[in-house]
Chains A and B, each alone.
Chain A
Amino acid sequence: MNEGFALSTESLVKSYELDGQKFNAVNSISLAVTAGEFVGLVGPSGSGKTTLLAMLSALLTPTTGKVIIDGTNLSDMSDKQRVEFRRKRVGFTFQANNLIPYLTALENVELMLRLNGELTAAVRTRSRDLLARLGLAARLHNLPSQMSGGQQQRVAIARALIHNPAVVLADEPTASLDTERAHQVVETFAQLIHEHKRAGVIVTHDLRMITYTDRVIQMRDGDVARIYTSRAEIRELAASGPG
């Protein structure tokens, strides 16, 4: 199942106990994402998409099953190894609080390289180029408080990509943006995923945003309800509304 894929899961389960009753937030999900593929994860609240994303990013340990990124099984790792793996092989953007408030756009992007001990003159230029590619050439030395929500999300995207991770994960990156900016952000995200040949997964409530994805996994009650693969199906689902 996992061969040739940048990201894959095998019978992934996350169980919780509530009032003495066991329930599965994620119920035996197996999926695979290739390098350069951008996958949308949609579903109503409580469908398990954020729990799945947390397990894909090595922030949450599955109850059973495997998460394999770049050929490495995360289940075999210690907590310390998972932290290091996240730092090196995973790129992440969040709904909010994406950036360190006292670092400029450029410094926020470079932080990822500092954490990995890889900040050199060459990658510094790459950080500038990437931010310029995201339309932020004039904002390199601005603090997050001096940028709009959309600009902050674009800085977060640059930070998620700068260290050449195997997978890039986004949790509701457009939740606090207006429609126009949301489209700009996700479109740019999709372009970069394709250009940089990373496996990308975006969790979103806003079905309009899945227009830019290559495949959509719809979840319900911890299970995969349906997978949309053709452009026509995805466009039809996206047209159904903001979610």
Chain B
Amino acid sequence: MQKLLTPLYLAQMEVLRNKVRFFLISLLIALITLLVLFIAALAEGLGGGNREYISKLDADLLVYKADSDLLIAASRLPRSVMNQVRRVPGVRAVGPIAVSNAAIDTPLETPDADPLRVALLGVEAGLPGAPPIISGSPFSTNRAPEAVVERRVIQRLGIKVGDRISIRTDQGSGDETFEVLVVGLSDGQQYGLAPVVFLPLLTWDRVRSKTGPNSPLNLNLIAVQLEDPNDLAAMKALIPAQVKDVEMAGIREAYEALPGYKEQQSTLDTQRFFTLIIGVLVIGGFFQIQALQKVPQVGMLKAIGAANWMVAVAAIAQIILVTVIGVLLGGAATLLLASTLPPGIPIVFTGQAAVAAIVSLLFIGPIGGAISIRYAARIEPLKALGMSS
């Protein structure tokens, strides 16, 4: 047992007696960790900000206008389509979703602040598409001057349920302001990276931006709940067969089709990948320099009877120790830094993304150090000690 622990003893003693050197290597790993975790959080924040409302929808399928290429802004559906979809066998419930943009005037206490740009979504209370209410109540009627807002609106405006907000939109002839009562609060429901204000569908139709006075009410999407969610593929084919001029998408398909979503995620994934590669090369370089400096020492160890596996295990243990310390330092620094960022910055740490980033980071040390471990294991004691002929 003692023989097995000897490499770990050597690794630990070298780190303890050269704290500054190994702390600097750990610091480097910590900086890489910070960068990777921030890119992961940014990817999650930006991706989440784009897809949050769609991904949380209490629906199985979304109905678009045919040939809209799953672009929500390009999809215009008359309200009558909702009834047609509802009548298709296997459909349990349908709900309208209408999308627009607006600005909310900031409270009088902060007159110099810019108005808050929001996504204005028209939905019907109790139907698919309406957000879950975590405090307050849903709309009283479909044309009430009421709003349900998501938590970011509350944070950014400093308002509460029961307050009134002023929504400003372009009505063709100029901006108009509509005052609505905040009756409910929903959880995070961003859409297109903007905080969301939900209005009853007919109120939404009155408030939304218009190009002229005779702009008919069209829905952008119809959210569909199925009797049996396992019938997704069959229903996706059945609804367009029975309802003219529509196309269908599942929830994931819908948010992946959001403009720029895939490109944004692949850009951030590429950044993360290259940060990890750079990390592997930098850490590898550090450990290789260290291995070169230790050639006579390793040669002596082998000459007095240390087996190759002992040398390799000592090197691996040291790399793992330094990497773990670096990742922990980097993780702590990330948490500290993230807590100081203003709420508007789209940085979101989710357990899954953070764990994936940390696991990949824990591999950069051993991968980067693999060449130096192999190098150390192959050191020839006679040459290292200058005894070769």
Q: Is B389's CB within 8 Å of the partner chain A?
A: yes
Kindly state the separation between the CA atoms of A97 and B305 in the bound complex, as whole angstroms.
15
Identify A83's interface contact among B2, B300, B307, B389, CB under 8 A: B307
Quick check: is B363 within 8 A (CB to CB) of the other chain? no
Chain A residues lying within 8 Å of B81, measured Cβ to Cβ, are none
In Å, the complex CA distance between A87 and B382 comes to 16
Given contacts A97-B300, A115-B3, contact A84 B305 (CB under 8 A): yes
Check A92–B389 contact: CB distance below 8 A.
no
CB distance from B387 to the nearest CB of A (A): 5
Q: How far is the CA of A114 from the CA of B7 in the complex (A)?
A: 10
B contacts with A, residue count (CB < 8 A): 31
Bound complex: CA A112 to CA B301 (Å): 10
Interface string of B7-34 (1 = CB under 8 A from A): 0011001101110000000000000000
Q: How far is the CB of B165 from chain A (nearest CB, A)?
A: 66
Residue of B nearest to A16 (CB): B389
Q: Cβ of A50 and Cβ of B17 under 8 Å apart?
A: no
Interface assignment of A177: CB less than 8 Å from any CB of chain B? no
Q: Residue-by-residue, is B118-132 near A (CB-CB < 8 Å gives 1, otherwise 0)?
A: 000000000000000
Q: Are A100 and B301 neighbours in the complex by a CB distance under 8 Å? A: yes
Report yes or no: B303 in contact with A92, Cβ–Cβ below 8 A.
yes
Check A87/B306 contact, CB under 8 A, given A16-B389, A59-B381: yes
Determine whether the beta carbon of B13 is less than 8 Å from that of A103: yes
Give CA–CA (A60, B382) in the complex, Å: 8
A193-224 contacts to B (CB < 8 Å): none
Task: For the complex formed, measure the closest distance between the CB of B200 and the CB atoms of chain A, giving whole angstroms.
Answer: 73
Task: Enumerate A45-91 residues with CB–CB distance to B below 8 Å.
Answer: 50-51, 53-54, 57, 59-60, 80, 83-84, 86-88, 90
Q: Does A96 contact B (CB under 8 A)?
A: yes
Q: How far, in whole Å, are A86 and B2 apart by their CA atoms in the complex?
A: 18
Contacts of B9 in A (CB 8 A): 114
Tell me the A114-138 residues at the B interface (CB within 8 Å).
114-119
Contacts of A84 in B (CB 8 A): 305, 307
Q: How many whole Å from B296's CB to the nearest CB in chain A?
A: 4
Q: Determine whether B299 belongs to the interface, using a CB cutoff of 8 Å to chain A.
A: yes
Given the contacts A87-B305, A88-B305, A97-B299, A50 and B387 also touching, CB distance less than 8 Å: yes
What is the 8 Å Cβ interface bit string for chain A, positions 28-60, against chain B (1 contact, 0 not)?
000000000000000000000011011001011
How many whole Å from B215's CB to the nearest CB in chain A? 78
Among B280-328, those with CB < 8 Å from A are 296-297, 299-308, 310
Interface membership of B218, Cβ < 8 A = no
Majority secondary structure, B binding face: helix
A186 to chain B, nearest CB (A): 19
Given A87-B304, A115-B305, A171-B387, A101–B297 Cβ distance below 8 Å? Answer: yes
Secondary structure at the A interface, as helix, strand, loop or mixed, is mixed
Distance between A57 CB and nearest chain B CB, rounded to angstroms: 7
| Set A25, A57, A115: member contacting B306, Cβ < 8 A | A115
The answer, among B2, B18, B306, B387, for a CB contact under 8 Å with A59, is: B387
Indicate if the CB atoms of B385 and A94 lie closer than 8 Å.
yes
Q: Is the CB of B382 within 8 A of A92?
A: no
Q: When A90-B305, A115-B306 are in contact, do A98 and B300 touch as well, CB less than 8 Å?
A: yes
| A50-B387, A59-B381, A87-B306 known; A119-B2 Cβ under 8 A | yes
Contact at B304–A92, with CB atoms within 8 Å? yes
Q: Is B341 an interface residue (CB 8 A)?
A: no
Bound complex: CA A114 to CA B310 (Å): 12
Q: Is the CB of B303 within 8 A of A57?
A: yes
Proximity string of chain A (223-240) to chain B, C-beta cutoff 8 Å, 1 when within and 0 when not: 000000000000000000
Inter-chain contacts of A107 with B (CB < 8 A): 13
**Which residues from A are CB-within-8-Å of B297?**
97, 100-101
A159 cross-chain contacts in B, Cβ below 8 A: 304
Inside 8 A of A80's CB, which chain B residues have their CB?
307
| Closest beta carbon of chain A to B20's beta carbon, Å | 13
Which residues in A have their C-beta under 8 angstroms from that of B113?
none
Q: Considering the chains assembled together, what is the distance between the CA atoms of A94 and B302 in angstroms? A: 13
Q: Which residues of A contact B (CB under 8 A)?
A: 14, 16, 25, 50-51, 53-54, 57, 59-60, 80, 83-84, 86-88, 90, 92, 94-98, 100-103, 107, 111-112, 114-119, 143, 159, 171
Which 7 A-B pairs have CB atoms at the shortest separation, nearest pair first?
A: A87-B305, A97-B296, A102-B17, A117-B3, A86-B305, A117-B2, A114-B6
**Given A57-B303, A115-B6, A116-B3, 9 other A-B residues pairs in contact with their CB atoms under 8 A:** A59-B387, A83-B305, A83-B308, A95-B386, A111-B6, A111-B10, A114-B3, A115-B306, A117-B3
15 A-B pairs (CB sep. < 8 Å)? A54-B382, A59-B381, A83-B308, A87-B306, A88-B305, A90-B305, A94-B385, A95-B385, A97-B297, A97-B300, A100-B300, A102-B13, A103-B13, A115-B6, A115-B310
